[in-house]
A and B are shown apart, each in its own frame.
Chain A
Amino acid sequence: EPEVTQTPSHQVTQMGQEVILRCVPISNHLYFYWYRQILGQKVEFLVSFYNNEISEKSEIFDDQFSVERPDGSNFTLKIRSTKLEDSAMYFCASSEGVGGNGYTFGSGTRLTVV
Chain B
Amino acid sequence: AQSVTQPDIHITVSEGASLELRCNYSYGATPYLFWYVQSPGQGLQLLLKYFSGDTLVQGIKGFEAEFKRSQSSFNLRKPSVHWSDAAEYFCAVVGGLTGGGNKLTFGTGTQLKVEL
- Which residues of A line the B interface, CB within 8 A? 31, 33, 35, 41-45, 48, 50, 55-56, 58, 91, 93, 95, 98-101, 103-108, 110
B63 on the A face (CB < 8 A) = no
Specify which chain A residues have a CB less than 8 angstroms from the CB of B43 in the assembled complex. 91, 105-108
| Inter-chain contact B51/A45, CB cutoff 8 Å | no
Query: With A42-B109, A43-B90 known to touch, is A103 a contact of B104 (CB < 8 Å)?
Result: yes
**Number of A-B contacts defined by CB within 8 Å:** 69
Residues from chain B with Cβ under 8 Å of A110 in the complex:
41
25 A-B pairs with CB atoms under 8 Å apart are A33-B103, A42-B106, A43-B92, A43-B104, A43-B106, A45-B103, A91-B43, A91-B44, A98-B97, A99-B32, A99-B96, A99-B97, A100-B34, A100-B49, A100-B51, A101-B51, A103-B34, A103-B46, A104-B46, A105-B43, A106-B43, A107-B43, A108-B42, A108-B43, A108-B44
> What are the 8 tightest A-B residue pairs by CB atom distance, in nearest-first order?
A100-B94, A107-B43, A45-B103, A43-B106, A105-B44, A100-B32, A42-B108, A99-B96
**Given A91-B43, A99-B32, A107-B43; A56-B101 close (CB under 8 Å):** yes
What residue in chain A is nearest B97 (Cβ atoms)?
A99
Residues of B within 8 A of A98 (CB): 97, 102
Given contacts A43-B44, A99-B102, 12 further A-B contacts (CB under 8 A): A33-B102, A33-B103, A42-B109, A45-B105, A48-B102, A48-B103, A50-B102, A56-B102, A58-B103, A100-B94, A103-B46, A110-B41
Scoring A48, A101, A104, A110 by chain B CB atoms within 10 A of each residue's CB, the highest score goes to A101
Among A41, A44, A58, A98, find the residue whose CB has the most chain B CB atoms closer than 10 A: A98
Decide: B102 and A55 in contact? CB cutoff 8 A. Answer: yes
Cα A44 to Cα B3 with chains together (Å): 12
Closest chain A CB from B22 CB (angstroms): 15
Instruction: Check B106 against A55 for contact (C-beta < 8 Å).
Output: no
In the complex, which residue of chain B has the Cβ closest to the Cβ of A101?
Answer: B51
Residues of A within 8 A of B106 (CB): 42-44
